[in-house]
């Protein structure tokens, strides 16, 4: 599979910010993002301290102006950066993100999770979650793979929680 020429061309067209925080596969460089957030947090603290000292020395007008500058110059960019990273990460995998092998692995994992849920106190919730995920994958699967995904979803949906032993209470 690997990285194709089109992938490299697409990566080259992205902004320097995207290339700085994401690799060619689209995975976040967590250390880099954490370092930037840490540096911005330190800048917020230092800016707040400096504004506090300036406000104490020169009066409340200076404090108000300095607080506004710290807010607009540091806190807003920090929030925008964190929001940007979260929005790029998305809300989980989608059909376009999964190839045949990955989809099969996810379905196998869901069956395994459903079987391992047997006997646990939260078994019913785990089975409902696994069935919901399997049906979502079946809904998003391409036509040639949909039957396999539906079979797994039906299998998990058919699993019932084990009856609780009421004599032990």
Query: Please, what's the b/e burial string for 44-65 (b: 16 or more CB within 10 A of its CB; e: otherwise)?
Result: beebbeebeeebeeeeeeebee
Distance CA 81, CA 63 (A): 26
Where exactly are the structural domains of the chain? 5-89, 95-168
Higher pLDDT, 11 or 83: 83
pLDDT for 4 equals 60
pLDDT for 7 equals 56
105, two tokens: 């692995």
Q: If pLDDT is split at 50, 70 and 90, which confidence band does 78 have?
A: confident
pLDDT for 99 equals 78
Check whether 86 has a pLDDT greater than 60: yes
Stretch 71-75: mean pLDDT, rounded? 86
Q: What are phi and psi of 115, to 5 degrees?
A: -65, -40
HEC sequence for 23-91:
CCCCCECHHHHHHHHHHHHHHHHHHHHHHHHHHHHHCHHHHHHHHHHHHHHHHHHHHHHHHHHHHHHCC
* 1-12 per-position pLDDT tens digit: 455 656 555 655
Check whether 169 has a pLDDT greater than 60: no
pLDDT for 40 equals 83
* Tokens 């599979």, residue located: 1
Distance CA 110, CA 118 (A): 13
Distance CA 137, CA 5 (A): 30
Higher pLDDT, 163 or 135: 135
Contact 100, 120 (CB under 8 A): no
pLDDT for 87 equals 78
Contact 127, 156 (CB under 8 A): yes
pTM metric for this prediction: 0.43
Stretch 25-42: mean pLDDT, rounded? 83
pLDDT for 1 equals 45
């Amino acid at each position: 599979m690997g990285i194709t020429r089109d992938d490299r061309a697409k990566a080259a067209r992205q902004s320097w910010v995207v290339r700085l925080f994401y690799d060619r596969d689209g995975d976040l460089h967590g250390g880099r993002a954490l370092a930037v957030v840490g540096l911005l947090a330190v800048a917020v603290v230092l800016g707040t301290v400096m504004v506090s000292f300036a406000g104490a020395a020169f009066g409340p007008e200076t404090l108000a102006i300095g607080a506004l500058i710290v807010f607009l110059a540091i806190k807003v960019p920090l929030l925008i950066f964190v929001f940007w990273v979260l929005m790029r990460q998305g809300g989980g995998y989608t059909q376009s993100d999964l190839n045949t092998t990955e989809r099969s692995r996810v379905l196998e994992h869901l069956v395994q999770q459903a079987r391992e849920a047997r006997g646990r106190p939260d078994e019913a919730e785990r089975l409902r979650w696994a069935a919901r995920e399997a049906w979502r994958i079946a809904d998003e699967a391409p036509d040639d793979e949909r039957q396999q995904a539906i079979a797994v979803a039906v299998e998990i949906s058919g699993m019932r929680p084990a009856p609780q032993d009421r004599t032990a209470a």
